[in-house]
Structure 1
Amino acid sequence: MIQKLLATACMMTLTAGAALADNHGDMSGDPEKGERVFRKCAACHAVGEDAKNKVGPELNNLFTRGIAGEPDFDYSDALNSIAEEKGDWTPEELAAFLEKPRDYAKGTKMSFAGLRKEDERADVIAYLATFNE
């Protein structure tokens, strides 16, 4: 009986993980709440129509252009190295970066301390996912 319960729990976990990977940015976040959280980011980043690079890169198509993938932005060596290693942002990787950017990418130019609350990270990731083509 215990083995059957464990097998079921493992299957549910794998299915949930696959769903997260397929949704590229869902993570069960709320995009409307994420729009409010994004205000913390808006001093340095832009999204949406006519978004331009600021101190940080614009964030449209974040999940389809790759880590350090905005061609007109000069990324730190730290983020460029991570891009070579990992390739694309996944919701999980972006959540880890947003939690504490300077720990995730030692030497990053991003001075933001991070989003400590998991629900805020999920919400802003869901919001950013709405700007993928």
Structure 2
Amino acid sequence: MEFTQIKETCLYVQDLAKTTSFYNGTLGLPVIGEAPDRFVFFKAGTSVLLCFNAQKTRENKELPPHFGQGQLHFALECKTEEYARWKAKLRQANVPIEHEQTWPHQRKSFYFRDPDQHLVEIVMPGIWEGT
């Protein structure tokens, strides 16, 4: 048996309106679920980015309580031909790019922060192939 992908990843955030503005407004990820003061969920390709208000999630009675804090990291993959356009789009939105990395086989990625200071990375396809 094997897993086919990571289906969802989760961030804990302070301000859901700022989170929605950034991930939906700036990055264009469609909102697929939301509950005021509790969570907002975004579609990213075939995966889902779950953004929870940590305190509200801690109080959950229906599902096991879960919560977290601190600055987390995740990566979004884009098409190689769209990589430069993503950098330009973020710069135009005044989102500072912290670092750009060239990986083996001339694959590139760049890093920036969301409103909660989580480290977001945009990567070209092929970053993990051959490992």
TM-score when normalising by structure 1:
0.27
Higher relative contact order (CA 8 A, sep 6+): 1
TM-score when normalising by structure 2:
0.27
Q: Greater strand share, 1 or 2?
A: 2
